[in-house]
Amino acid sequence: MTIRRATKSDIDTLADMFSRMYILNSEFDPLLQVPEDIRQRVRASVEKAISDENSLIYIYEEEEKPYAAIKIKFDEREFYTPSKVARIEEFYVHPAKRRGGLGGTFLNFVEEDLKKMGVTLIIARFPSKNLIAVSFYSKHGFREIHNEFAKSID
């Protein structure tokens, strides 16, 4: 098992993984529908993030085959302390590798790496109806601090 930072050669793999995550999110709420060109959009976003100092992408591999990826974005909170936070924007684990502890191992590694960079707060964002994610993050010490309510005024 290896966990490493993503490079440009990983862009297509990451685009596949993260677009699958957004497509799955669309199952949870009609307000999370994805556009038809989701993969291209995700690819462009990943390409940008790889060379962006405010983002970090990690890849989990076994025998050189990628099975999971996490994308982090650093944010500044203007009115709260600590102000610097790492936000998990995308987190995908290959179906064949779920429920075996990979996600927890991967998350722990990322947390340790962020600590070394002086980051003290990590935030995850995911659809509120994704109960598996709720359970996963709760199990790993996260708690709910914000609610995001949405209403279509179309």
**CB nearer another protein, residue 20 or residue 84:** 20
Site residues for another protein per CB under 8 A: 20-21, 23-24, 27, 94-96, 98, 130, 132
Shortest distance (Å) from residue 95 CB to another protein: 5
Q: Provide the minimum distance between the beta carbon of 105 and another protein in the complex, in angstroms, as a whole number.
A: 18
Whose Cβ is closer to another protein: residue 27's or residue 76's?
A: 27
Q: Which is nearer to another protein, 105 or 130 (CB)?
A: 130
- Name which of 44 and 131 has its Cβ closer to another protein: 131
Contacts of range 68-73, beta carbons closer than 8 Å, 24 or more positions apart: 68/17, 68/92, 68/93, 68/94, 68/97, 68/102, 68/103, 68/106, 69/6, 69/10, 69/13, 69/14, 69/17, 69/18, 70/106, 70/107, 70/110, 71/14, 71/18, 71/46, 72/110, 72/114, 73/49
> Considering the complex, what minimum distance in angstroms separates the CB of residue 30 from another protein?
15
